[in-house]
Structure 1
Amino acid sequence: MCHEAFVELEAAVLAATDACSAGLAYLDFAVAHPRRYRVMFGAADLSDQAMRLFTQVLTDPGRAMALWLGLHGLADQRASISRSPAFAALAPRLIASLI
C-alpha cells in the first residue's frame, strides 16, 4: 500500500511545472492523505525514494535534500495544526526559500 501511495505522490510531484509547484503538490498529497503520508514516512520509511524523487525536481543533491527535508517538516506541521488559510498562503514563500 505504501509503495502504491508513493507512486501516486511521485506522479503528482513530477507532473508539476516547476520546483515550487512540485513542493505544493507534495504538501497537497500530505494534506489529502494524512494517514498514508505518516505511514509512508514512518513505518515504511520511504525517505530514500523521496530523496531520489526530489533529485529529479532539483538536480543538485544538496538542494534536493534541503527541499525535501523542508517539505517533510512543513507537511508534518501541517498535519499537526488546524486547517489554516495562513498556512496555505505561507507555504509558497517557505518553498521558494528552500529552492
Structure 2
Amino acid sequence: MADHSRRQEGLQRVQIGLTGLAGVVLLVGLANIVIDKARVDDIASAPPAVPTIDVNAAVAATTPKEPLAELGVQPAPEMAPIVPDLQPDPKIRKPMDQEPTPQTP
C-alpha cells in the first residue's frame, strides 16, 4: 500500500511540474507575440519630424547659467556675501562639546 501511494505522489509531482513548465512556455510565447507586434507598429509609424532650427543653439540660449540663483535658492557667485575667517573666542577656556564637569568647592 505504501508503494502505491509513493508512486501516485511521484506521478502527481511530475504532472504539476509539467503543467508549470507548459504555463511558462505559454507566457513566454505570448510575450514574444506582443513584442513582435510592438516592433511592427514602430516600423509602420511615420518617422519623426526633422527640426528646422538648430536645437543646440536654442537649448544653449534658454539654459540658465545659474539655475539655482534664478530660482532664488542659492545666491549667484558675484552676489555671495564675504564671510571673514572665524576665530575662536579667546575667553573660552573649556571645550564646549563636552558636558560640564562638577566643580568641587
TM-score, normalised relative to structure 2 = 0.22
Select the structure with the greater relative contact order (CA < 8 A; seq sep ≥ 6).
1
Larger of the two Rg values belongs to structure: 2
